[in-house]
Structure 1
């Protein structure tokens, strides 16, 4: 009998010289996204994508609004902002449990987030 992989996606990359693990699992009503440089979970944020459409906008473009709530671990406005940025590139209508744990908090900048984003957009279950 063939065995099923433990997660939908599990892979590691070097981000700014640090071993960075990416884990994704899609459940019936939630999606789990873990990005960690510690080989463990450091925090959890629950993210709900509240999409709305403003009929007065040209071409009826939709805007994404994220409700982010810290559920586990240390709270950080920088991590919350980074997750908010990364969520713009994830196609997920259900709640996302997001863990972002980086060894160097001062590296929470656009360059680092773009490197993480470049990995996330390649993960099939998260593609837009």
Structure 2
């Protein structure tokens, strides 16, 4: 019973497969994924100092917009701001509301104006009536 552990059987299967004549297939198999890996999204965290949260928000928006001008592939809609020691308290920097043609609002979060849901007046986009 002592040799009936999982580690014992894994070892026996590995050793048995390494002896000449035990295997018909090669030891090194093909990659498990037949196609290329899908593209993934990543996040960069930039640290900077600011006097207060309002100043930090202004600086963060300026940094994000500047980076968006330099590198168009950067997703500005996903930009967020948080205290350096509390990433779980991140707040969105940009509105991101979906417009009538599928575009997203690139204005600062909490901007004046409105976006309302479909209904009798349709999707509102802009400063209102």
Query: Which has the larger helix fraction?
Result: 2
Greater C-alpha Rg: 2
TM-score (norm 1): 0.22
Higher relative contact order (CA 8 A, sep 6+): 1
TM-score (norm 2): 0.22
